[in-house]
Amino acid sequence: MAEALNSDDDRNRLLLEAITDYAIYMLDADGRVSSWNPGARRFKGYTEPEILGHHFSRFYTDEDKARGVPERALRTAAQEGRFENEGWRVRKDGSRFWAHVIIDPILSPSGDLLGFAKITRDLTEKRAAEEALHRSQEQFRILVQGVTDYAIYMLDPTGQVASWNAGARRIKGYAPEEIIGQHFSRFYTDEDRQDGLPQRALETAEREGRFEHEGWRVRKDGTRFWASAVVDAIWDDDGHLIGFAKVTRDITEKMEAQRALEQAQEELLQSRKMEALGQLAGGVAHDFNNLLAAISSSLELLQKRLPDDPRAARLLETALQGVRRGASLTSRLLAFSRQQPLEPQAVDLTTLVRGMSDLLSLSLGSAIAIETHAPLALPPAMVDPAQLELALLNVAANARDAMPEGGILTITFSSAEVSAGQVPGLAGGSYVCVILSDTGTGMDAETLRRAADPFFTTKEVGRGTGLGLSLVHGLLEESGGRLVLSSRVNEGTKAELWLPVAQHQRLPEESPAAACEKPLTVLAVDDDRLVLMNTAFMLEDLGYRVIEAHSGTEALKVLKDQHVDLLITDQLMPRMSGIELATSARQLRPDLPVILATGYTDLETDLGLPLLNKPFSLDQLQTLVCKTMQG
């Protein structure tokens, strides 16, 4: 038995001597070291002769010794049968290491305390790794919490919010205590929740690892923002789903900027279309004017030469009325193309509207009735009649589109003395107002607010440019008036066109000029042979000698070789315009009178040339010739 015991003691001693990762040693009942293994020597630095018999408290820091930690450790082990702790310990060289310590009491068979068994493990590297991990986690937590441009938060596998950063609070408006534990679907719109988008997002992320989407989200206060959201599935080491990481960014400003860019591009495209259409309209109007000039002059000459036949006279007058209506149409085209400036004059509004009743009826269609209410006396308005006709047609077209099933367009006239501020944007003074009221679908407040904005339209693509009411607004502003709109959904729309009263209610009437007494030789120039021929016929009918030229170059040759009293030239000619011809002619003959025949009334030159607007009548031609020669 003794040999066996000795053999066991030897084996235990060899075991303890072989252990170097743990310090295993004995303390007597007072805490003095009574044994020392190689592990203790390795990480505490003491040899057996240096430490045996010394109190184990020398391994503790001064702070722990001052607080009585060594004595408390022995007392706890003796009273409770075990003491376990982690803390800083001190090596022989004074350096510190993080130790895991276990102290067990050693008792005699009779229960008397003989001493203590102490096992110490050096956990410095493990603690350093744990501290590094903790620092990393803390830095990541601070990073996530410090991000305010992104909402970064965790969801559990069912979609309940498990964490909440400062960005989420800023963007969505919830404090952590208000939202943690709540389902993330509350951030979605009612439409998206009904469509199952929140659940579909989690299912997609779980199945594919990621879900990405842009759409409207809802803040705590109910307002919406356009969000870019990413949901990533999170798995543990065993492949079990433990939740989702969700990152949301508020990109409302980016989305609005993109929409504004797209709108600007669309407006630019529409502007270019309108510019091209305006150029086309101007060109058509010019050519149409030439045709009307030929027809008008021919009809007038026929009217003078035909015998006194009442039937023929009516036919000719009807044809001349058609020419005048055609001239009015070209004026509208030129107004639309902005190749003609505003020519405000005293206009009888009731007469103007009555004159365009056929055009309004044709534009509105048979399903819409037109009712007109006018007072017995209405002062004239100061406005460009052609532009006002275009404005009325634009307003009527909007009314037509608001009454797809038909309805009534009521046109009412009134006059009023307006004080400053009484009508928004209108200065105080005397005004005439044309009110167009429809029985259509009306507009909500936002649509009404933007109704006169350029390029804003509620119509389908291809059915409107959004320029109609903006053109009306521009005309009235230029004329010193104002467009006032009022509307309610399903209650129709009312458009008030306010115009200043003309200061002179009657325009001065020019008496027909008498034929010029002096015989005149007139050089007529036009590249259109038909127009030139009819102009020559009219001049000859007035008693003038006429020389014809089909270009500016040909006209200059005539001026060098022949005597000419007056030059009448078309403006729009190839290679040399009428103004260029007049300039060159004045160099040859500084005192030569020149009349410019054109369909455009916005021509301005340093020469101050009188304008003969196409198509022109015999009286207009005679009046301007005599006025020019007398001036």
90 with 198, same domain? no
Q: Hey, is 483 helix, strand or coil?
A: strand
287, part of any domain: no
Over the chain, what is the mean pLDDT? 81
pLDDT for the residue 330: 64
Last residue of a domain, one of 250, 281, 296: 250
- Which residue would you say has higher pLDDT here, 12 or 352? 352
Q: How far apart are CA 478 and CA 473, in angstroms?
A: 9
623, part of any domain: yes
90, part of any domain: yes
239 with 378, same domain? no
Number of structural domains (the chain) is 4
408, part of any domain: yes
562, part of any domain: yes
Lowest mean pLDDT segment, chosen from 147-161, 328-342, 448-462: 448-462
155 with 121, same domain? no
Query: Residue 492 sits in a domain of what CATH number?
Result: 3.30.565.10
Residue 164 near residue 181 (C-beta atoms within 8 A): no
Q: How far apart are CA 401 and CA 237, in angstroms?
A: 65
98 with 173, same domain? no
Parallel, antiparallel or unpaired: strands 368-373 and 345-347? unpaired
Helices (H) and strands (E) counted in the chain, each on its own, are 21, 20
487 with 533, same domain? no
Last residue of a domain, one of 96, 128, 160: 128
Lowest mean pLDDT segment, chosen from 441-455, 470-484, 545-559, 578-592: 441-455
pLDDT for the residue 507: 42
Share of the chain above pLDDT 70, in %: 76
pLDDT for the residue 3: 46
48, part of any domain: yes
Lowest mean pLDDT segment, chosen from 11-25, 153-167, 388-402: 11-25
493 with 355, same domain? yes
- Which residue would you say has higher pLDDT here, 461 or 72? 72
582 with 619, same domain? yes
Span 154-176, average pLDDT: 91
The sheet with strand 150-155 has its strands ordered as 150-155, 241-250, 224-235, 210-218
Q: Hey, is 93 helix, strand or coil?
A: coil
- The model's confidence at residue 68, banded by pLDDT at 50, 70 and 90, is very high
102 with 166, same domain? no
**Burial (CB count <10 Å: 0-12, 13-18, 19+), residue 74:** buried
Domain span at residue 161 reads 147-250
465 with 532, same domain? no
592 with 494, same domain? no
pLDDT for the residue 470: 64
357 with 461, same domain? yes
Span 422-446, average pLDDT: 87
**Burial (CB count <10 Å: 0-12, 13-18, 19+), residue 505:** exposed
Span 299-321, average pLDDT: 70
325, part of any domain: no
Lowest mean pLDDT segment, chosen from 69-83, 124-138, 519-533, 552-566: 124-138
Lowest mean pLDDT segment, chosen from 201-215, 460-474, 528-542: 460-474
Each residue's pLDDT tens digit, 523-552: 999 988 888 888 888 888 888 999 999 999
Phi, psi (5° rounding) for residue 244?
A: -135, 145
358 with 474, same domain? yes
Chain-centre distance of CA 100, in angstroms? 66
Start-to-end CA span in the chain (Å): 155
pLDDT for the residue 456: 42
pLDDT for the residue 186: 92
Q: What is the pTM of this model?
A: 0.40
Reference 334, options 96, 1, 86, 572; nearest CA is 572
Q: For the chain, how big is the Rg over CA atoms in Å? A: 51
- The model's confidence at residue 300, banded by pLDDT at 50, 70 and 90, is confident
135, part of any domain: no
Length of the chain equals 631
- The model's confidence at residue 465, banded by pLDDT at 50, 70 and 90, is very low
Span 561-566, average pLDDT: 92
Last residue of a domain, one of 216, 250, 284: 250
Query: Residue 530 sits in a domain of what CATH number?
Result: 3.40.50.2300
Query: Residue 155 sits in a domain of what CATH number?
Result: 3.30.450.20
Residue listed under structure tokens 């389902």: 183
- The model's confidence at residue 424, banded by pLDDT at 50, 70 and 90, is confident
Cβ contacts of residue 344 below 8 Å, gap of 6+? Answer: 382, 383, 384, 479
pLDDT for the residue 49: 92
pLDDT for the residue 359: 76
Lowest mean pLDDT segment, chosen from 2-11, 53-62, 94-103: 2-11
